[in-house]
Amino acid sequence: SSPSYSSGTSSSASSIISAKLSPAPSIRDVQTALRNAGFYTGNVDGKVGPLTHDSVKKFQRANNLTTDGVIGRQTWDKLKDYL
């Protein structure tokens, strides 16, 4: 059997940013926008942790978006206004 290198369970950028979103924002941009919007209180460190993931969901819920914790086109279109 061939080894699987991407299990999808790591906290990489791909876990919260849709593969279909191009160009994809950096995690730092996502965290900065979430913080400016009042949904993220953590450090802007470019790392995806539980706080970043939860903040994405809270932003989506507040903006009547699909609350899946994944940044797709609709989420990013609203979120990038806060950069």
For residues 2-17, give the mean pLDDT: 52
Give the chain's length: 83
pLDDT in tens, 25-69: 999 999 999 999 999 999 999 999 999 999 999 999 999 999 999
* pLDDT of amino acid 15: 79
Cβ neighbours of 82 (radius 10 Å): 15
In terms of Cα–Cα distance, which of 37, 41, 43, 40 is closest to 63?
37
Predicted TM-score (pTM) of the model is: 0.82
Report d(CA 56, CA 50) in Å as an integer.
Answer: 10
* pLDDT of amino acid 14: 57
